[in-house]
Chains A and B, each alone.
Chain A
Amino acid sequence: MSEIDIEWPWQYSFPPFFTLQPHPETRSKQVAAWKSLILDYCKKNKVCIVDIREADQLPLFNNSAINRKLESGVIVSILGELQKTGNAAAVDKSKNRWEIYWHTLEEWGSIIHDYVTSNGLTNSVMTLFELNQGESQEEFHGLHTDVLIKALKTLEEQRKCELILSDEDQGVKFF
């Protein structure tokens, strides 16, 4: 994935930002700054999946200019904080793979639903490919299919759509 220039916050060039701070007050400022940086970075670069074992390859967690990396244990604890607000979720038990939701799944659901209703697509069937890989320039364009399905499931619970997930076809019908 090509890197989009993001405006890094001042903390990103501040070496101790990559060391978990022992002082509670400072640490909570640090964690808050990391949380918003992660969501901002993932949103701009459309990064939906973060694998902790390969986190070094993301400039987000590895600032080569100052030679500082965020330790994987620290990344997991910060992602855990994001999970509390519905902005991330571990997909495997060992907490190596994480999905990042810069919009919560419910928010994604309503963004998609708004798009569908305002474009007169209710009562029609769409493929998931059309939604996230189609020609639309909507925010959910480029959203990882796994995340898309989870977002649609929140709509399904509200009986606003029905997912059709067979091996060959992945589609959704909106009501």
Chain B
Amino acid sequence: MRRRAGLGAIQKQKLQQEKYKDKGNEIQENQFEQMTKQLDVFKTNLEEFASKHKNEIRKNPEFRRQFQEMCSSIGVDPLSSGKGFWSVLGIGDFYYELAVQIVEVCMATNEKNGGLISLDELRTRLIKARGKSNKHQEISSDDLMRAAKKLKIFGSGFTVVPVGKGKYMVQSIPGELSMDHTAVLQQVNSLNKSYISVSELRDKLNWERDRSQKALDHMMDQGLVWVDLQDVKEKQYYFPSLFNACVDSAK
């Protein structure tokens, strides 16, 4: 008899466990449903917010940046959403247009800077090129970075390179810059100059002569750097993209 009672107890226990499990699932499903609902509400609100403040978003770069951050926190990318609600908003179009203009500026200045341009110069030229028709739309560096990053889909042709002190450069030639090349750019930028030498790189970065020379030679092969043999001390390597007279010249 003990056996039977034992079996009954086990069965009872099993039944209880199943009931707990069912209840657990129920609660989980409820929660999930709730979450989905909440997310939907949030999305709807965000969409409402977006369409209500469409003009501010288009006009005010700070607003635009914060809106972008809000969107990315729930996994919505208004830039890549070409369909449905977000396309009506035209946010994607805004960045698409910027991206095209970035390419245009990069191509126009490639002749003198070899395909490397500071974000500041890019912004000045782009705003000038946009002309009066778009005067109500301010373009921030943040906008440009977002648009430029989208250009990555074309391969290694477009890269945004951080050069320290909150400054960036946009590279518009194929062939990525390595860590060493970026480090050279950062050094030149941090010294507030447009040129650098092998011994300066040794002093600042502790690099062997070979390493510096290799990095500079590579950048010269890319047309990013010009060499000056008439300096009293040693060879100097100049970046036209960081040389003021070049940056400011209309041509």
Contacts and interface: CB of A to CB of B under 8 A. Distances in A.
B203 interface: no
A43 interface: no
Interface in B214-251: 220-221, 223, 226-231, 236, 238, 240, 243, 245-246, 248-249, 251
A16 B245 contact: no
Contacts, number: 55
Contact of A26 (B226, B229, B245): B226
Interface centre among B114, B230, B238 (most CB of A within 10 A): B230
B175 to A, nearest CB: 13
Contacts of B248: 10
A19 to B, nearest CB: 4
A67 B230 CA distance: 8
Interface in A23-45: 23, 25-26, 29-30
A173 B221 CA distance: 57
B223 A68 contact: no
A66 B154 CA distance: 41
Given A15-B238, A22-B227, A68-B230, A10 B249 contact: yes
B221 to A, nearest CB: 6
B110 to A, nearest CB: 10
Given A14-B245, A25-B223, A9 B251 contact: yes
Nearest to A29: B111
Contacts of B111: 29
Interface in B186-235: 195, 220-221, 223, 226-231
Grouping DSSP codes into helix (H, G, I), strand (E, B) and loop, the A interface class, with mixed when no group exceeds half, is helix
A16 to B, nearest CB: 4
B243 A19 contact: no
Contacts of A30: 226
A156 to B, nearest CB: 40
Given A10-B243, A14-B240, A14-B243, A21 B226 contact: yes
A98 interface: no
Contacts of A25: 223
A14 B227 CA distance: 11
B228 A10 contact: no
A124 interface: no
Interface centre among A11, A17, A67 (most CB of B within 10 A): A11
A15 B240 contact: no
A17 B230 CA distance: 10
A26 B230 contact: no
B20 to A, nearest CB: 74
B230 A18 contact: yes
A15 B240 CA distance: 10
A141 interface: no
A15 B114 CA distance: 17
A25 B223 CA distance: 7
A69 interface: yes
Given A10-B243, A10-B246, A22 B220 contact: yes
A17 B194 CA distance: 14
21 contacts: A10-B112, A10-B245, A10-B248, A10-B251, A11-B246, A14-B226, A14-B245, A15-B195, A15-B231, A16-B227, A16-B228, A17-B226, A18-B228, A21-B226, A21-B227, A22-B220, A22-B227, A23-B223, A26-B226, A68-B230, A69-B230
Interface of B: 111-112, 114, 195, 220-221, 223, 226-231, 236, 238, 240, 243, 245-246, 248-249, 251
Given A22-B227, A29-B112, 18 more contacts: A9-B249, A10-B243, A10-B245, A10-B248, A10-B251, A14-B240, A15-B228, A15-B230, A15-B238, A17-B226, A18-B228, A19-B227, A21-B226, A23-B220, A25-B223, A26-B220, A68-B230, A69-B230
A-B pairs with the 8 shortest C-beta distances?
Answer: A16-B226, A10-B245, A16-B228, A10-B249, A15-B228, A19-B229, A10-B246, A16-B238
